[in-house]
Structure 1
């Protein structure tokens, strides 16, 4: 699969001078995406207004994300961030009799922040056991009183991938809705919301989706969306200036989107769909497998067992932020988190780049 980076690396100017392995935090910026951002700027600078064009770009981004996850465009809402999504989703469930919510220790901290702030709900937190989450834990903690189960598709710390379809089947048996945080998977792991039986799914644009901050997407299954009435909804979630909710997931929208991020997302998603996420998955999985083996040979300690993190190489380091700062001086960009150095490649990265980063990490460790 090395032909992928050979074919597309020229689209990413940063790769000419840096080794960029931080897609779990911020992917490298593609030159066509940069041009799309400039197009937004220039349209204001030279024409004074670009409302109609921006609305067209918004619909293009919506359509491309729907294609990426196997959804219909009317099942996609354009939102500011995944954190905003969680607040809006919480507000939409107030009419349900059931008031129990389940989430996991693998969820991004924002999930806990939102649900702990909801005084009307009781929560259960599924713990991590032996570095993972197990289906029997979901079976125990999801009850007949659970209104929503929140799960990450991929763990932000070490790349642990969950079987979303199996969890969805279990949640459905208990009468619980399923919300999936796909921020760490969308763009490099194939997603099929219909096949998996997902009720809601959210992802932002700045990581593996090749975009910039300020924009995210929310999928809501069409049969569910029209039954929900989010309290956090405004004119972009209504039928024009009418007070009535828009149909489908659009009712979860609030105000004017960050159009500059929309321009970037429309182009970036088009590029990902053109390449194909299955091809990206295969390439990333191959070079990460090689990197984990190489890191072990160098005596580095990995955060999880081989095979459980196909798209991420997480190396244990008590001084991860310090190491990352030293690597940055050597033009190697990774994503530290707490006591982990995360190497997160994309389709534009090569096996040799990952090995180079591991060599530099080993050199830092040896110098201590």
Structure 2
């Protein structure tokens, strides 16, 4: 990759060292121009008319997403965020009293709330699978827990609060053998490194556009394997999700279109399409290799600093790096980074309430392929300075 050219095509790189890609990646200039061009078109000729004029480009977005993750175009539905996409899949499963939902300790907080809500409403039970010695979901324990009561296995690929990568391909092999639906939250993984739904073996996948995909905020998508649709009953219906039928009243649209809504922010949708096409052009394997290498390099720098501790679990780790400076509140460290022009964020215990680690809040740093070694050095220098200042004199 030509990193200098990619940075020149990313306006934000001129102003900040952006190490908060796990929060929201920087828009490329081409994606920014795609969004603004459609907004200008809407202002000039009208919203409905602009959508009609760009209908081919709009309808090409699900196909591009499907290509990115190894699915088919008819299996992708667009949403305004990953949470709504994930909920559309999870709430479409007809749970009954006695059913079980298996998930992990690192499951995202919104997902866990949904499981608990479904359990309260339907009489299902939520079972948290133990971790292995590396902090990942223990696949041996998962296999032992799967029986005829299990209606869903739901797992977060990469938790929001650290560098852990769950063994999702192994989980997929287990769920396929058992015939149990597997819902994957890929919010932090799609765009960070290659994600292939067939290699993983999941039945449903939800992700966002705003993070490592570098799309606009307010975008997300759901992928549902065609063969899994017969097990799902969408919990919301509206005019774009079904078709009228004289015999049965209505029928669901084919494929994942049954999960869609009529009204969308088409400027954002087109921006998402632009970001996905750029990811495809660069190559997820190529960008993923660089992104993961930058994460490892940053973690190595921080591990070498006296008074700084990293907290990332897992045998395989991604580019999300979490750390704490001894004697300094993490919010103060984040503010110090901001004063030096470096974007970072904080973890929260509410993001993964069942994780069981009393370590949050941590400073979260998440580089992407357009970041540089010099930016990593600057971030490490700020944390080193904070650690030195906290030492007793």
CA contact (8 A) 1:320 1:337 kept: no
Report whether the alignment pairs 1:116 with 2:130. no
User: What TM-score comes out, normalization by structure 1 length?
Assistant: 0.93
CA contact (8 A) 1:226 1:247 kept: no
* 1:15-55 deviation digits (Å, cap 9, x = unpaired): 11210011111111211111111112101111123121454
Residue 306 of structure 1, CA deviation = 8.2
CA contact (8 A) 2:164 2:313 kept: no
Give ranges in structure 2 of 5+ residues lacking alignment. 349-360
Distance 1:276 1:93 in 2: 34
Distance 1:366 1:128, change over 3 A: farther
Match of residue 322, structure 2, among 314, 317, 329: 314
User: What TM-score comes out, normalization by structure 2 length?
Assistant: 0.87
Q: Which residue of 1 aligns with 2:341?
A: 331
Q: Which residue of 1 aligns with 2:353?
A: none
Distance 2:315 2:4 in 1: 26
Distance 1:292 1:98, change over 3 A: same
Q: Which residue of 2 aligns with 1:27?
A: 25
Distance 1:97 1:274 in 2: 47
CA contact (8 A) 2:106 2:159 kept: yes
Match of residue 125, structure 1, among 125, 128, 131: 128
Q: Which residue of 2 aligns with 1:362?
A: 384
Residue 218 of structure 1, CA deviation = 0.6
**Which aligned pairs between 1:1-368 and structure 2 lie closer than 5 A?**
3-49=1-47, 50-94=50-94, 99-118=99-118, 119-120=121-122, 121-128=124-131, 130=133, 131-239=135-243, 243-299=250-306, 300-304=308-312, 308-317=316-325, 319-338=329-348, 339-368=361-390
Aligned-residue CA RMSD (Å): 2.2
CA contact (8 A) 2:136 2:313 kept: no
Residue 106 of structure 1, CA deviation = 0.8
Distance 2:95 2:381 in 1: 55
* 1:98-134 deviation digits (Å, cap 9, x = unpaired): 7221122211100011111112121112244553322
Distance 1:212 1:226 in 2: 32
* 1:297-319 deviation digits (Å, cap 9, x = unpaired): 22221113686323222213562
Residue 215 of structure 1, CA deviation = 1.8
Distance 1:306 1:7, change over 3 A: farther
Number of aligned positions between the proteins: 366
Residue 74 of structure 1, CA deviation = 0.3
Distance 2:178 2:17 in 1: 46
CA contact (8 A) 1:232 1:254 kept: no
Distance 1:316 1:294 in 2: 13
* 1:212-262 deviation digits (Å, cap 9, x = unpaired): 222211110011224522121322222489932111111111331222220
CA contact (8 A) 1:99 1:145 kept: yes
Distance 1:344 1:151 in 2: 21
Distance 1:5 1:206, change over 3 A: same
Give ranges in structure 1 of 5+ residues lacking alignment. none
**Which SS does the other structure have where 2:127 is aligned?**
strand
Distance 1:4 1:335 in 2: 28
After TM superposition, the structure 1 stretch with the greater mean CA deviation from structure 2, 279-288 or 239-248, is: 239-248
CA contact (8 A) 1:321 1:337 kept: no
